[in-house]
Structure 1
Amino acid sequence: MTGGRYGEAVFRPEQAGEGERIDFGALAYDRVTMARLHALGVGPGWRCLDIGAGTGTVSRRLLEEAGVAEVLAVDRDVRFLAERAVPGMEVREADVTAPDFAPGRFRLVHARFVLMHLPDHERLVRRLAELVEPGGVLVLGDAVEPAADRDPATPYDRAMRAMWRGLRETIGTDVSWVPSYPRLLRGAGLERVGAEVRVPPLLPGSPISRFWADTFERSRAAMLATGLVDDAGVDEAVRYLDSEDCAALAAGLLTVWGHRPAARPA
């Protein structure tokens, strides 16, 4: 890793349009996330921790749709959270990797598109599992490449291959370990572990297509440094995403959950 962390070398929150890029991702994936949280019984009375809360879409929907009691929304930079906070939502600027990160215990601990950008995954999964109160649930989500070894025949596939390598070499992003989530949650002492993958369709003008086009633009320097694409190749991929010729498979969202065993009566 040579370029610092997420939000430093790439995806800087002060860069114009970064909040909108995050929102495009939320539009593509929030319904999937909320459907899983509803299925897990998240609802009234729950205290929730939303890590890497971004622009706060999941935090707000937990309060407004699921009716939870409160949400602690945490991010390393809270500018997007602070301007969109709602009643019941506490915003805290913090680093989940810091030794002093100890926000308490929660019935729901949720993190989406966070751990894939951080090193020492097993330790972080164990640490997040420790923040779940007895009877509560940990829900994690990260990107997976459904067919990472396919021949990159489309402009989008070539750009994605360059993007993943470029992000790995600059900020340490690594999705290769994400399919190990179920094993890691079980190893952290959680029970009733389950997992699912959802892949949104790449359609012209769709939120996920706009998300990836913006992501390519913001990670262009890292992509070019790999030598797998040039400027023309990135431009071609951006045009392709908004073209009726687009016929490619998007990265999926793997969501995994596990329950902390309930406390036994004394």
Structure 2
Amino acid sequence: MGDQATLASDYATGVLSKDIPTEFERIRLLQDWIDPETRAVISQIGLDPRWRCLEIGAGAGSVATWLADQCDLGSVTAVDIDTRFLNGMERPNLRVMQGDISALDYEPCSFDLIHARLTFCHLPSRNEVLAKAVRWLAPGGWLVIGDLFSLPEDFSTYELRRRFLGGMAKLYLAQGADMAWAPTIPARMGQAGLRDIGTRALANSVGDGGAYDRFSVVNTRQHCAYLVERGLLTADEMQELLVQLEDPAFVELRTITVYAWGRREPR
């Protein structure tokens, strides 16, 4: 792959931009895959219907609307850098806010639950935002973060896949993402002062016919197209990669979902 391609330096204009025609379908399939895990993690800490919630990186709104229904006596603030997929969500206790969470600020003790999913890994200032989120928590409030740990491309046994995954790594690095950050979340929560920290991890494979696999097909197509446009992959290689995903013999462990949660100590 060449080294002279012009790559986006921010999330909003990069390979996951909402200007890309397949991005809504990609997010919808992402929700289908990970929503059950997200709901299980949040439910186990014990949702209170009166909670004030902050959803960081709200995407297409599946978690924000679910939280609004669960916390019907409280409120939900759904934040995203681009809110076009949140249009039309109707809940009396749901507020949609467009903005970069790295630049936003809230009063201390504003929220009883703060949740972010597959968002912090894409924030160049992720550790600073985590520290701010802890300040935004009310005493006894919970911070819940889920992110992906992407296995290094060298773990693949397929040469073309290794090249493709290396290209993806270049795209994310240019945008300031860190796909190896997720395993550090529990320790960072503890260092930020949270307690009662818990973790949950789930391995995700491509080629097994599951929900993550269905998401990966669209995700791969979108990343391939971006790489082809920038000369980092050929159209023939893109087609070969997509055909490979349909091969019954193909299966590959690709990522690990890491969820961690911690509680601000009550006064």
TM range, normalised to the smaller chain? 0.7 to 0.9
Equivalent pair of 2:54/2:79 in contact (CA under 8 Å): yes
Partner AA of 2:152 in structure 1: A
Q: Which moved more, 1:164-173 or 1:200-209?
A: 200-209
Instruction: Name the amino acid aligned to 2:261.
Output: W
State the distance in 1 between where 2:12 and 2:73 align.
30
What residue ranges of structure 1 are gaps of 5+ in the alignment?
none
Query: Structure 1 residues 206, 226: closer, same or farther in 2, change over 3 A?
Result: farther
Structure 2 unmatched runs, 5+: 1-5
- Summarize the Cα distance change of 1:205–1:152 in structure 2 as closer, same or farther, 3 Å threshold: closer
User: Does the residue aligned with 1:130 lie in a helix, a strand or coil?
Assistant: helix
Report the CA distance between 1:175 and its aligned residue: 1.2
Alpha-carbon offset, residue 155 of structure 1: 6.9
Matched residue type, 2:102: T
Equivalent residue, structure 2, for 1:202: 206
Q: Distance in 2 between matches of 1:184 and 1:233?
A: 40
Kept after mapping to 2: 8 A contact 1:28/1:200: no
Matched, 1:234 2:238: yes
* Equivalent position of 1:55 in the other structure: 60
Q: 1:178 to 1:219 in 2, by over 3 A?
A: same
Give the conservation status (yes or no) of the 8 Å contact 1:159–1:237: no
Q: How far apart are the structure 1 equivalents of 2:26 and 2:159?
A: 21
More divergent stretch after superposition (122-131 vs 63-72): 63-72
Find the counterpart in structure 2 of residue 87 from structure 1. Answer: 92
Aligned to 2:197: 193
**Partners in 1 of 2:207 and 2:67 — Cα distance?**
28
CA deviation after TM superposition for structure 1 residue 123, in Å:
1.3
DSSP 3-state at the match of 1:250: strand
**1:140 counterpart letter in structure 2:** I
- Which residue does the alignment assign to 2:137? 132
1:103-122 equivalences in 2 (<5 Å): 105-122=110-127
Show the counterpart of 2:3. Answer: none
| Structure 1 residue identity aligned to 2:266 | A
For these two proteins, the number of residue pairs brought into alignment is 260
Partner of 2:252: 248
State the identity as a percent: 27
User: Aligned equivalents of 2:193 and 2:155: distance in 1?
Assistant: 39
- Answering whether residue 102 of structure 2 is matched by residue 97 of structure 1, we say yes
Displacement of 1:19: 1.2
Give TM-score, length-normalised by structure 1. Answer: 0.86
Superposition CA RMSD, Å: 2.6
